[in-house]
Amino acid sequence: KNSNMSEVASRYVDAIISDIFGEVVGSIANNLVTKGPSSLDMICKDIPLAKVTHSLQVLIQHNLVTFEKGSRGQAFYKFELLNAFSIMRYPKYLYIVKTELGDDAEVILEALLQFGRLSLVSVLYKAACKLLETNEDSLNVFVPMLKKKFDLLCEKKFIQRLPEVTVNAVPTFLDSSNIPFQKVVVDLGKLQDNVQTKTIPEESQGTDCVYWRVNISKFNECIRNQMIVDAVSRRIDEKAGVIMKIYLQNISEEYNTLNPVSGSVSVNTLIQALKKSNQEMSLSDLKDYNKLMEEDSARFITKIGEEGGGSYVINILNIVTEIIWSTIDWIVQEKYGSKAARIYRLIRSEGYVEQDLIQKKAMLLDKEAKLLTYTLLENSFLQLKEVRKSMANSGPFKNIYLFYINLPLTVRNLLELSYKSLANLINRNNDEINSNKRLLEKQQRTETILQNLKDQGATSEQLQEVNGPSHLLTACFGSLSVEFSSLCDRPLAYGYIGFLYFFPMGVVIVHLPN
């Protein structure tokens, strides 16, 4: 059994994969999650071989499963948990690309997210076909534009090429991390003809055999960086947030995103970058902001040298840890009240605290302080440590009990709550759809009839007659349809999805022990 995967997280993975790809693929994914890397004969004990191989093809296509050669020469398949957890962040990825590179780049990214991995011609074809649905007059304009946006996505490392494979019984992927980006040539005129005639382009033995996928780690890094910028803006002000954003943009590409500190950035580099972004700032103001960020309790940056007007590194570990602490404080306050949050912050600042000192320092009644403290203990926000008194060898007072906070354990418990909530929401959504299947079929039938009548130039009276309560959709069904639609369109618990955006990344960056 995979010891690093809890039952709750496994249930969430099963729910989201089954919801997207079907129950058979979901069961294969759950099998790999619970058992860990497995060979084909280990997976297909209760499922027909054909279904297993098809499910693995689907999961590999969507970058959810990788494989490698085992000691006996057979292929072992491994489920990529971080890629599965990233599925709920896909809308965030699309928003990042749309904000930075525009709608055309968003359409390209959407095609790659939908199909997992595609050749360049296939990506451009699918993106162009989607744009053609809304604008038929500019085909010769947006096809070249899509190619330029694709090159930009590659240059900014939002998408990456898949490594080449060796031709063996169990193929192995060659390392392509050090291969510099090169623009791929494609026949845009032929592609325009394919889009115009709705003919799927044929893949040849040239550049079409190179496949591309979304660079999940790059998007996670962007989300993390935006969280850091927002944290600096809230703690100091907007100008400090702008400076931090420039710092993050000018970190060396050789910097490993899992390191506790970033690569160094000089003040001269910072000033030049501020000028390019039309955010000019005097040297004295910049030094003042650097000092504020350096002396803040979160220790946003640290000065490491005097070259280039002064060199600074970003303390990624400290910042992410502070964000996690702040979020947990907010959770405790929202769930248990301000007095419980006061106790939690007290124990956090003191480290280890006895029960008697809690009510005194938190200025709470004895009974109330005990109730809140043990409520936090019961819900794993606090831990209890037993310490033997050195001078008491026997009797009821030989031990003392200290309350403390175990941050890694608290983060894991909140992750468990997030996974459980998301799995329940997915299952509840499916139950609502199944229980209202007849209603949905009636609504879809009515909408189809109305659309056909509109295309035929029907009058408003005719449309109202079809849409009225005397026909396919009764007044009762109409109100239920509105209620059901609002239920399904409701966002999936933004608070818990907020956890999912950064807690897995926080776990990786902070290097929480297993």
Q: What is the pLDDT of residue 206?
A: 46
Pair 34, 88 in one domain = no
**pLDDT averages per 10-residue partition of the chain, 514 residues:** 67 90 90 86 82 91 88 85 90 94 92 91 86 69 83 91 67 54 63 66 60 91 91 91 90 72 87 84 88 90 85 90 92 93 93 89 90 93 85 64 92 89 88 80 78 76 62 50 51 37 38 34
Structure tokens at 84: 């599965």
Task: Give dist(CA 345, CA 339) in Å, integer.
Answer: 10
- Which residues, 6+ apart, have CB-to-CB distance to 468 below 8 Å? none
Q: Of 261, 285, 314, which residue constitutes the final position of a domain? A: 314
Q: Has residue 22 been placed in a domain? A: yes
Residue with tokens 């369109």: 489
Total count of residues recorded for the chain? 514
Pair 93, 204 in one domain = yes
Q: Of 314, 349, 379, which residue constitutes the final position of a domain? A: 314
Question: Between the CA of residue 131 and those of 144, 148, 190, 407, 512, what are the distances in Å?
Answer: 13, 15, 17, 48, 45
325 neighbors 270 (Cβ within 8 angstroms): no
Pair 325, 271 in one domain = no
Q: Has residue 379 been placed in a domain? A: yes
Q: What is the pLDDT of residue 503?
A: 42
Residue-range definition of the domain harbouring residue 17: 7-79
Q: Has residue 257 been placed in a domain? A: yes
Q: Has residue 1 been placed in a domain? A: no
CATH label of the domain that carries residue 352? 1.10.10.10
Pair 435, 506 in one domain = yes
Q: Has residue 32 been placed in a domain? A: yes
Q: Of 314, 345, 374, which residue constitutes the final position of a domain? A: 314
Pair 382, 455 in one domain = no
Mapped onto helix, strand or coil, the DSSP state of residue 266 is: strand
Q: What is the pLDDT of residue 208?
A: 54
Pair 41, 158 in one domain = no
Pair 109, 127 in one domain = yes
Number of domains in the chain: 5
Q: What is the pLDDT of residue 119?
A: 87
Question: Between the CA of residue 101 and those of 87, 150, 155, 156, 229, what are the distances in Å?
Answer: 21, 10, 12, 10, 20
- Which residues, 6+ apart, have CB-to-CB distance to 481 below 8 Å? 439, 443, 473
Residue with tokens 């040539």: 185
Q: What is the pLDDT of residue 479?
A: 54
Pair 415, 400 in one domain = no
Exposure letters 427-442 (e unless 16+ CB within 10 A, then b):
eebeeeeeebeebeeb
313 bridge partner residues: 302
Q: What is the pLDDT of residue 507?
A: 38
- Which residues, 6+ apart, have CB-to-CB distance to 257 below 8 Å? 217, 221, 224, 509
